[in-house]
Amino acid sequence: MNGLGGLNKSPNGVVIGLVQLQLPTIATRADVTAQAERIVALVAKARANMASMDLVVFPEYALHGLSMDTRPEILCTLDGPEVAAFKQACRDNRIWGCFSIMEANPNGNPFNSGLIIDDTGELKLYYRKMHPWVPVEPWEPGDLGIPVVEGPKGAKLGLIICHDGMFPEMARECAYKGAEIMIRTAGYTAPIRESWRFTNQSNAFCNLMVTANVCLCGSDGTFDSMGEGMIVNFDGAVLAHGTTGRVDEIITAEVRPDLVREARAHWGVENNIYQLGHRGYTAVKGGAGDCPYTYMHDLAAGRYRVPWEDTVKVTDGTSCGFPAPTRSYGEGQVPAVREAAE
């Protein structure tokens, strides 16, 4: 059930709109400014398109395109004019919005950051991409963890970005911290289409969590993004799917966080997010609560190493034209500001 894309909104429903934004070409600061204005206009379109919409989501790279350009003059900051414009757009249209910026980092490569702004223009969630799509992307790995916040109608929202969604640990962390709706923004191109589809569904089903996922759309003359807006219910069923590749189409559906809560409380079979820490509770009281996974222990201890580690050939970005890094993670970084990130 999706309320005919949100046209028929239930008292407990949250209507989400995913903007399959035309892939932009960005070369100058003026281009960034113009693209920010275009995004603001599409926030207004989303509100006019559907009065019941609670949250409008723009893809990763919506502001900067896919050039991987790290020049300081086109980067953004949280207190810059682009973010201010997004806040004003949400305030003016009384709608929550999810946005993407490439964030200046004075002590290293830029961060690929996601923002959720509420319908009063307040920044509620601030996230830095944890898993840049190596070796293609030059972004600094995120240092804010995975924040979860209370969104429209009290729904708990999490946000991850693109390649993050290929790691099941990312969706599980969102759910473990209480997320009932996980947003995944992306700039993916067509070769990832099938992987995109099944991970969006598995991330939902394995965590009893709605996932709302959207890519850029169309071509910039070099890259071709695929759109593929997908809203997936907590049982893995696809509620809405933008399969036509039509640029600037807004894919909509109503989702029910109250039914997520109900499933998490009442499901026995396949309540996997609970059962992970309560193995075999039919046989032993409360289930086994140990951690039998070697990779978890090794990662926590800083000794993560796959058995084929010495055979891995691509371990930096030189194959994609980036110089080999010389700075270790965290070296020279100022501690992250965590306002609106917890």
- Which CATH number describes the domain made up of 3-300+314-320? 3.60.110.10
Q: Measured between alpha carbons, how far is 203 from 165 in angstroms, rounded to an integer?
A: 8
Is pLDDT of 340 > 60? no
Which residues, 6 or more positions from 101, have their beta carbon under 8 angstroms from its beta carbon? Answer: 63, 64, 76, 82, 83, 113, 115
Is pLDDT of 102 > 70? yes
> Is 60 in the active site?
yes
The pLDDT assigned to 330 comes to: 86
CA proximity to 76, closest of 93, 99, 97, 101: 101
pLDDT in tens, 126-145: 999 999 999 999 999 999 99
| Other beta carbons less than 10 A from residue 188's beta carbon | 25
The pLDDT assigned to 342 comes to: 46
> Is 162 in the active site?
yes
Mean confidence (pLDDT) of the chain: 95
Q: 57 is written with which tokens? A: 């989501």
DSSP state of 179: -
Query: What's the average model confidence in pLDDT over 314-324?
Result: 96
The pLDDT assigned to 327 comes to: 93
Q: 226 is written with which tokens? A: 């695929």
Band the pLDDT of 154: cuts 50, 70, 90: very high
The pLDDT assigned to 335 comes to: 64
Domain range summary for the chain, segments of one domain joined by +: 3-300+314-320
DSSP 67-92: S----GGG-B-TTSHHHHHHHHHHHH
The pLDDT assigned to 338 comes to: 52
Among 90, 162, 215, 217, the active-site one is 162
Query: What's the average model confidence in pLDDT over 18-37?
Result: 97
Backbone angles phi, psi at 227, to 5 degrees: 70, -95
> Is 313 in the active site?
no
Among 98, 129, 137, 254, the active-site one is 129
